[in-house]
Chains A and B, each alone.
Chain A
Amino acid sequence: MSAKEIVVISGKGGTGKTSLSASFAYLEGKNTIVADCDVDAANMHLLLGADFEKQEDFYSGEVAFINEDCCINCGKCKEVCRFDAINVIDNQHRVDNISCEGCWYCSRVCPTGAIEMKTQKVGDLYVSNIKKESKMVHAKLGFGAENSGKLVAKVKTKAKEEAAKLNKRYIVTDGSPGVGCPVISSLSGANLVVLVTEATVSGLHDLKRVQKLLKTFSLKAVCIINKYDLNQKITDEIENYLKGEDIVVVAKLPYDETFTKALSEAKPIVEYDSDCDLAKSVKDSWKKIKNILGDV
């Protein structure tokens, strides 16, 4: 039986998505594989003590490369480049890899065929051992590189392979923020989505956007309202909205600085102080999630 995938997303950043994903991973321990799809600001490996055991290169997109032996420095490439990625340095036309968007225009207009498009290494993919004898799949991007649906798909595929190989029951996926391509890619094949929101205007606004996306894909979701006591009025609004959408609230967590203290020691809250009220609520929400998946 293949592992069940729980994808944690938030729409808005800073709601506690990663802290909670890491807590779920820590609670379930050996039974899980963790997939960190929040690659733009990957930090889950810090909480889970990843050891970067296995590495592979990740290639995505293309950049122009000028073969200087064939280049006659006619300047046509520089003229057509809309990203100002071609500069003349020491009387030679050169490509600035960070500005180049890989659009191929220069390569098409080059009269001597001196411009080749090369696939670019944009980052590294890792499979790491983490706390509680578990494993995680994560990635690190190079300077100027951005997360993409492709990279997320790669992280997820790798996590599924590992889960199948090691006979794991769950995949806990820390999804990407926002509602764009990487998020869509994070969501594919999810058995359950955990929406993490907070009691702020933007928390609610982004929750609605991300829920619209979930509806397109007919995905089942539950919600955790973090920092619910920041603004009771908005929490009420969130709960009303969720009721209308038929989404169960599995936890309402108060604003609590223990979260920050745990973070500064690079520990998930359930590891930092497993008996505090906050940790108890998180444990309880994980139990509810498993229940909804039909596993308890």
Chain B
Amino acid sequence: MKILFTAKGDSWDSLVDPRFGRAEMFVLYDEDKDELQTISNDEAKEKAHGVGLQSAKKVLEAGADVIITGNGAGEKALEILKKSDIKVYVGAGDMSLRDAYEASKKGELKVQF
């Protein structure tokens, strides 16, 4: 499974960024390979409007099965994400990536849809 975090930094100790569209960056964890990979979100951050859709596209292209984030995706981005099998976990806003990952495994995070 591939898990994508909206993140403020690129390591397990970094914090989850509560924002989806304007997240500092995305971090993809490939469970099979046990590998962390950083995906830049710089171009979206520079856009004045419509960043949610851009980010949704990125996430789908990255092939993530699960998203872990804080507030969740906005309405427009959600509409896109709902068309795939991706699951969005929310409420990880103040956690480190490691804690958020563990919380999701224990079923402690809410699903946005």
| Chain A residues near B (Cβ < 8 Å) | 60-61, 148-151, 153, 181, 184-185, 187-189, 213, 216-219
Contact = CB atoms under 8 A, between A and B. Distances in A.
B51 A216 contact: no
Contact of A188 (B45, B47, B71): B71
A31 to B, nearest CB: 20
Contact of A189 (B21, B52, B70): B70
Interface stretch (B31-39, B59-67, B72-80, B95-103): B72-80
Interface string B10-51: 000000001101100000000000000000000001111111
B85 to A, nearest CB: 20
23 contacts: A60-B48, A148-B49, A149-B21, A149-B22, A149-B48, A149-B49, A150-B49, A181-B49, A181-B50, A184-B52, A184-B74, A188-B18, A188-B70, A189-B18, A189-B70, A216-B112, A217-B71, A217-B72, A217-B90, A218-B90, A218-B91, A218-B112, A219-B71
Contact of A150 (B46, B70, B91): B46
Nearest to B72: A217
B48 A61 contact: yes
A150 B19 CA distance: 12
A60 B49 CA distance: 10
Size category, B interface: 20 to 34
A217 B110 CA distance: 11
Among B45, B49, B93, residue most surrounded by chain A Cβ atoms (within 10 Å): B49
B82 to A, nearest CB: 12
A23 to B, nearest CB: 26
A50 B62 CA distance: 45
Contacts of A216: 72, 74-75, 78, 112
Among B46, B91, B110, residue most surrounded by chain A Cβ atoms (within 10 Å): B46
Contacts of B50: 181
A150 B93 contact: no
B6 to A, nearest CB: 10
A18 B91 CA distance: 28
A171 to B, nearest CB: 14
Given A149-B22, A189-B19, A189-B93, 15 more contacts: A148-B48, A149-B49, A151-B48, A153-B22, A153-B45, A181-B48, A185-B22, A188-B19, A188-B71, A216-B74, A217-B74, A218-B71, A218-B91, A218-B110, A219-B71
A151 B18 CA distance: 18
Nearest to B19: A188
A184 B22 CA distance: 10
Contacts of B93: 189
Contacts of A149: 21-22, 48-49, 51
Contacts of B72: 216-218
